[in-house]
Amino acid sequence: MAAIELRNIVKVFSDKRRGRDLLTLDNINLDIEANDFVCLLGPSGCGKSTLLNIIAGFEQATSGRTLVDGKQVERPGSDRGVVFQQPTLMPWLTAIDNIAFHLKLKGVGKAERYDRAMEFIDLVGLRGFEHHHPSEMSGGMNQRVGIARALLMNPSVILMDEPFAALDAQTKLEMQEELVAIWQKRRCTIVFVTHSVDEALVLGNKIVVMTKRPGRIREAVNFDLPRPRDITSPEFNDAKRHILALIREESTRLAQAS
Amino acid sequence: MTSVTDVSPARRAFRLTRVFQGLERVVVPALLIAGWEAFARSGMLPPALLPAPSAVLHALGDWVFGFDETTQTYSGHWLRDALASALRVFGGFVLASLLGILAGVAIGWSRLFEKTLEPTLQMLRPIPPVSWIPLAIIWFGIADKPAIFLVFLGAFFPVLMNSIHGVKTVDHNLVRAGAMMGASQRQMLTDIVLPAALPSIFAGLRIAVGSAWMLTVTAEMVAVKSGLGYVLWDSYYFLRYDIVLAAMISIGLLGYLSDLGLKAIMAHTLRWQQTTTVQGRAG
């Protein structure tokens, strides 16, 4: 049984102001195995974030079935950790309180909360900043808190919606390396949304290329280049060429259609 | 040889600038008061109609400390009068804050409350609190109650409006993050929506405390026989403009102090926010 099963997912947004419907996701079928690092790759507007939100339970599919660990997804829950595009931390809580927020909601006492959160503070390299508020930390540090917060819930899958898009190039590279290290250490299933071909190739062992209007899966590429990955190696470039060709073919199709 | 107590010219200049920076705040009030004193003493108006600042200060001093009974029956009774007004402000303000936040959060969070409760409250809102005075007197008589009722009316709506706004503008993604971490509906309100709405709620409380003082004084001029507003109105009947002005100064001072107190509570509660705001950076 796959960790995540998407069966015939269709999502239609009704544009009430213009009185028409917009087909955003058209019959998506995808199996994601446990411990996979899957990148959903596509241009903006292809519905990749919508697909992620459907798995998270934030949005409902118009039709189709979403199963996580064999259970139908109906609402958000702590079995699916989400890392948002913006850190989306509670600004009134310190780093450690944000990370342990799930435990507080479950009624766990402060001493145990802090004890368990410290492990994740260390994991994302924020020791010394545990009592800082989000407004006192950089974007990269806040995003680390967001990742630690998702990991602490020990979810079966982690859903990430372009979490590094707002970071500068150097911080982005660092965070990508750390994310891969965390994934290797903790063996979790990650679904990572991105519009960057390079990012998908650095991170994923399965790259799902999506097309735009309506959002469909063009091809799911398995990519098992050993890590750490050399982004100048011939294998890396072969895979990149293949994916870029898929995308280019798609934009020619769209150009001809319009 | 230079001694250790020597102050370099640069440091001396720095100290002088600091002295001047302290002074610049008092320049305008000092000039105004000096001009007023000179004008009052020139005799262009009878002193009874425009008392000089020194006369007002004298009246205020006697009202507070009772040293020479210039203020006759009020001599030495300032604390009693101020306390009477302050208790009305406090009573009405606390009541308005509790109900305003409760109703505001309910309306902001739930469609049901928005549909059932909001139209009635929004219809009551434009009615000036002062126009309730006749009814307040019939219902509550002449005492603390009508004043507290008026203070409540004046303070409730700012708290209500800002609480509704605060809840409605909570970042949608924070609610999603809460749902992702398994928050129940009640926890969503108490642990996410309420803290996120606090900056806006505090803005409402600060407007409310100002209205509270205005309405206490208004009520005391009409429907109560004690407090700063009563002294003000009573002294007007006896043409004691020095006491009228002393009462005005007292109200201004107490209103300012209440706001300072509220600001201190706010700065403590919202200290997480300080580094991100203009106010935080300037301070």
ipTM confidence: 0.90
Task: Yes or no: say if A52 and A217 are a contact pair by the CB < 8 Å rule.
Answer: no
- Give the pLDDT band of residue B155 (cuts 50, 70, 90): very high
- The Cα B212–Cα A55 span in angstroms is 51
Q: How many CB atoms lie within 10 A of CB B153?
A: 22
Which residue in B177, B191, B272 is closest to A88 by CB distance? B177
* Closest chain B C-alpha to A222 CA, distance in angstroms: 29
Count of other CB atoms within 10 angstroms of residue A240 = 16
pLDDT over 80 (residue A33): yes
For residue B1, what pLDDT is reported? 45
Which of B179, B195, B275 is opposite residue A92, by nearest beta carbon?
B195
B32 touches chain A (CB under 8 A): no
A255 — pLDDT class (breaks 50, 70, 90): confident
With a cut of 50, say whether residue B57 has pLDDT above it.
yes
Please give the Cα distance from B112 to B74 (Å, whole number). 53
* Residues of A with Cβ-Cβ distance to B187 under 8 angstroms: 105
**Interface contact flag, B177 A82, Cβ < 8 Å:** yes
Instruction: Find, in chain A, the residue whose alpha carbon is nearest to that of B274.
Output: A135
Q: What is the mean pLDDT of residues A127-152?
A: 92
Q: A75 CA to chain B: closest CA distance, Å?
A: 8
A83 forms beta bridges with: A160
Provide the mean pLDDT of chain A: 91
Q: Would you put residue B182 in left (φ > 0), alpha (ψ -120 to 50) or beta?
A: left
Q: How far apart are CA A252 and CA B21, in angstroms?
A: 67
B79 in contact with A, Cβ within 8 Å: no
Q: Please state the rounded mean pLDDT for residues B156-173.
A: 96
Work out the pLDDT band at A63, boundaries 50, 70, 90.
Answer: very high
Q: Does A76 touch chain B (CB under 8 A)?
A: yes
B11: contact with A, CB 8 A cutoff = no
Give this prediction's pTM: 0.84
Q: Is B275 on the interface with A (CB under 8 A)?
A: yes
Answer for the pair B74, B63: CB distance below 8 angstroms, yes or no: yes
Cβ-Cβ contacts under 8 Å, A58 against chain B: 176, 179
Q: Look at residue A97 in the predicted model and tell me its pLDDT.
A: 96
